[in-house]
């Protein structure tokens, strides 16, 4: 694990809502790219929603976590709550100025914006990150 919660590392689990809108797909694409870049590891939110024991244990044990919802409907948040998991490193894209629509032509600048939000909001085990910060880097 990284010495600082603001240093990148593959211990960060990334859970994306991956919903049927631009913002859902932005959460997905950002997590795919961050995984490819070695920042963290995209993890299966559907497995958590299915209450599969191994998936729930992995999320509980994750040193760092970011949960992304595309919009205020909060599907990822609801899945985490239903599974009895704490919401850590939580980001809602529509609260960050990205408008929800059905245009699946994702824009590079919005993908980068989401990736930066994820980097700033990763949360160490047992801590909820303040909005816009990982909570440890002042």
Is 52 within a domain? Answer: yes
pLDDT digits (tens, 9 = 90+) for 1-57: 333 333 344 689 999 999 999 999 999 999 999 999 999 999 999 999 999 999 999
Q: How many structural domains comprise the chain? A: 1
Q: What is the pTM of this model?
A: 0.82
Residue 105 covered by a domain: yes
Query: What is the bridge-based pairing of β-strands 64-69 and 123-124?
Result: antiparallel
Residue 61 within any structural domain of the chain: yes
For residue 3, being part of any structural domain is answered with: no
Assess if residue 45 is contained within a domain: yes
The answer to whether residue 4 sits within a structural domain is: no
Q: pLDDT per residue over 49-81, tens digit each?
A: 999 999 999 999 999 999 999 999 999 999 999
Task: Map tokens 């859970």 to a residue.
Answer: 15
φ, ψ of residue 136 to 5 degrees: the values are: -125, -5
With a cut of 70, say whether residue 105 has pLDDT above it.
Answer: yes
**108-121 and 22-36 are packed helices; what angle lies between their axes, rounded to 10 degrees?**
70
Domain housing 71: 12-124
- The average confidence (pLDDT) of the chain is 86
- Residue 129 belongs to a domain: no
**CB-CB contact of 94 with 114 (8 Å):** no
């Amino acid at each position: 694990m990284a010495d600082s919660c603001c240093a990148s590392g593959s211990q960060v689990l990334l859970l994306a809502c991956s919903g049927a809108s631009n913002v859902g797909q932005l959460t997905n694409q950002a997590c795919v790219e961050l995984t490819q870049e070695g920042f963290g590891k995209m993890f299966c939110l559907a497995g958590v929603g299915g209450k599969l024991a191994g998936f729930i244990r992995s999320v509980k044990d994750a040193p760092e976590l970011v949960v992304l919802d595309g919009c205020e409907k909060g599907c990822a948040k609801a899945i985490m709550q239903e599974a009895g998991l704490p919401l850590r490193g939580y980001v809602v894209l529509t609260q960050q100025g990205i408008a929800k629509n059905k245009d699946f032509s994702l824009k590079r600048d919005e993908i980068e914006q989401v990736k930066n939000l994820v980097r700033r909001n990763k949360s160490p085990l047992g801590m909820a990150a303040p909005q816009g910060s990982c909570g440890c880097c002042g």
